[in-house]
Structure 1
Amino acid sequence: MQDIPHIPVLYREVLEVFCDIKSGIIIDCTMGYGGHSSMILEANPHIKLIAIDQDQSAIDFSTKRLEPYKDRVVIKKGRFSSVIKDILKEGDIREIKGILADIGVSSLQLDQKDRGFSFSSDNLDMRMDKEAAISAATVVNEYSTQELERILLEYGELRNYKKIASFIVNNRPFSSAKELSEATKHLMPTGKKIHPSTLLMQAIRIEVNNELGELESLLNTIEEAKFPNAKVAVISFHSLEDRIVKERFNRWRESCICPQEAMRCICGGNHSYGRVLTKKPITAKEDELRQNPRSRSAKMRVFETDSGNE
């Protein structure tokens, strides 16, 4: 019997989003420990599920966890942005009724200190795919001051990004996340409920895994595919990710795609992809926040495509 280490974030809300899907395929773009996948398969007994992850340890774990549903689940390795394209080539797009993407680092990766995601880790890695070329050590020890400033400002939204970048460059090399976290602690924001180095580590992790680029690519693929009658649910943990999802969903619902400066509509006004189901992002309830502190940053937005593309 496997030791199931956590309950996935917003698990009740995810099940509610997909509760009316009685047949077809749901794609879990970020399988991780298989928490969302197993719950969806249990709650929707007639659907099939395609689960994606780029982390072989996640695939090994979840293959065993999802064994009871093996006749209804297919697990694929790779970045979700590219695997989705392969899935579309292989099957009937009309069969796909739901897409779930839980963006960011998984609990499996956070729990394994040798992966370098933890503040107390003895190495400096942070790669979701262990075979990827760029690691956190590459970013911290080899990036120029200007490159570090860019990621600390854009991905960490750190006000004193110049001072932090300069400190890192002048004091490197760093060999572990623990060493980096301790050395830069005096430069980090104070007064927040999160670990002082959270924003620094977050910025490095996003750069290492191209997380924002992956999200943009996934949304591009969904937009280009024109899924008919499908629900798209994206869970994000970072304000930049949430902003990308919000803006894209709002754009998808617009019928007119003419430039704002246009005096009148010339596009035909028939470009709506569907409707936004969440006016505000869905967040964790109090009981979940108590049980799982990691859920405090989770925000889920949901979009439903229309049937006009069938």
Structure 2
Amino acid sequence: MENIPHIPVLYREVVNTFDDIKEGIIIDCTMGYGGHSSLILENNPNIKLVAIDQDQTAIDFSSKRLKPFGERVEIRKGRFSNVIKDILREYNPQDIKGVLADIGVSSLQLDQKDRGFSYESENLDMRMDKDAPLSASNVINEYSQNDLEIILREYGEIKNYKKLASVIMQNRPFHSAKELSQKLNPFLPKGKKIHPATLLMQAIRIEVNDELGELKNLLGALEEAKLPHAKIGIISFHSLEDRIVKQTFARWAKSCICPSEAMRCTCGNNHQLGKILTKKPVTAQDDELKTNARSRSAKLRVFQMEL
């Protein structure tokens, strides 16, 4: 695995986002296989990087990849929504100058068939942390029909969610993602750009790893910490994540938080945490789109804390 080349999405845009940070600490909440982390360390030679990941395979890989940077790198294992709280308590808020989160499954996790993320996998797992108690097998084979409908509707945004949930109930147990996608294929929405099972797998993966909850908890921890100078960059891959980031950044940028129907301001008009640096999400350039299919859906939003 050490020889696998891995180019992270929006690599130039991430480097440019943090390019003006000359010292202090940058937190990479989703280290993965060290792509963004290594680029940031190379481009910002005087910063320290604290990296987080819950996948031990990724940690083992990136520990070797980032070893040349020596004591400038600190790696923590766990869910970033929990570990970030420890980091924010341990370090002086003044020293934290940047936070990056690349939300979603990594391309190398997708490529590892035994992890169960791919619709071609002979496994039914999808856990980013292999030690986590909930797997895709639990979701598909044990959840009620109503719970399956909610997941497919809310996380997959699939219109015929009732039919899919019914087919799952009638044909379980399922033993692999491949078996699941093949059985449901006749009922899955057909699109020109993505495989029919993509939204199905997305919905299950989000449930297994509580991805939306993780994102909300991360943003909540950063808001509570009130970092005075930190630049926050979040990369999302589907509309549910992007909507959460967009709405949170918009709220952070508001000085007045009075209800819209209020006749006059009574909140003090001093609640602004900073400013949005990306009026529209930053997307991949043409050359990256041609070489990295995953970058097609990647969106980067950036917020500058000013407290």
Give yes or no for TM over 0.5.
yes
- 1:224-276, Cα deviation, whole Å (9 max, x unpaired): 11011110000000100000000000000000011122111001101100000
Q: Shift of the alpha carbon at 1:191? A: 2.9
Partner residue of 1:245?
A: 245
- Report the residue type matching 1:187 in the other structure: F
- 1:268-310, Cα deviation, whole Å (9 max, x unpaired): 101100000000000011100111001101000000010x3xx
- 1:169-188, Cα deviation, whole Å (9 max, x unpaired): 00101000000011111111
CA distance in 2, matches of 1:303, 1:250: 9
CA distance in 2, matches of 1:275, 1:175: 48
Partner residue of 1:236?
A: 236
Percent of residue pairs bearing the same amino acid type: 70
Partner residue of 1:41?
A: 41
Q: Classify the secondary structure of the residue corresponding to 1:70.
A: helix
- Report the residue type matching 1:266 in the other structure: T
Q: Shift of the alpha carbon at 1:192? A: 2.7
CA contact (8 A) 1:58 1:108 kept: no
CA distance in 1, matches of 2:175, 2:5: 28
Partner residue of 1:17?
A: 17
Partner residue of 2:279?
A: 279
CA distance in 2, matches of 1:289, 1:100: 21
CA contact (8 A) 1:25 1:95 kept: yes
Partner residue of 1:261?
A: 261
For residues 123-134 of structure 1, the aligned pairs below 5 Å read 123-134=123-134
- 1:177-228, Cα deviation, whole Å (9 max, x unpaired): 0000111111111133101100000000000000000000000000011011
Partner residue of 1:225?
A: 225
- CA RMSD between the two structures: 0.9
CA distance in 1, matches of 2:152, 2:56: 29
Structure 2, gaps ≥5 residues long: none
Partner residue of 2:98?
A: 98
Q: Shift of the alpha carbon at 1:2? A: 3.0
- Report the residue type matching 1:23 in the other structure: E
CA distance in 1, matches of 2:120, 2:6: 20
Runs of 4+ in 1 over 6 A off after TM superposition: none
Of the structure 1 ranges 3-12 and 212-221, higher mean CA displacement relative to structure 2 is found in: 3-12
Q: Shift of the alpha carbon at 1:119? A: 1.2
Partner residue of 1:173?
A: 173
Q: Shift of the alpha carbon at 1:38? A: 0.3
- Report the residue type matching 1:160 in the other structure: N
CA distance in 2, matches of 1:192, 1:253: 38
CA distance in 2, matches of 1:261, 1:192: 45
Aligned pair count reads 307
CA contact (8 A) 1:97 1:229 kept: yes
Q: Classify the secondary structure of the residue corresponding to 1:71.
A: helix
- Report the residue type matching 2:198 in the other structure: T
Partner residue of 2:186?
A: 186
Q: Classify the secondary structure of the residue corresponding to 2:148.
A: helix
- 1:58-116, Cα deviation, whole Å (9 max, x unpaired): 00000000011122000000000110110112121111000000001112211211000
Partner residue of 1:32?
A: 32
Partner residue of 1:294?
A: 294
CA contact (8 A) 1:27 1:100 kept: yes
Partner residue of 2:204?
A: 204
CA contact (8 A) 1:212 1:241 kept: yes
Tell me the TM-score normalised to structure 1 length: 0.98
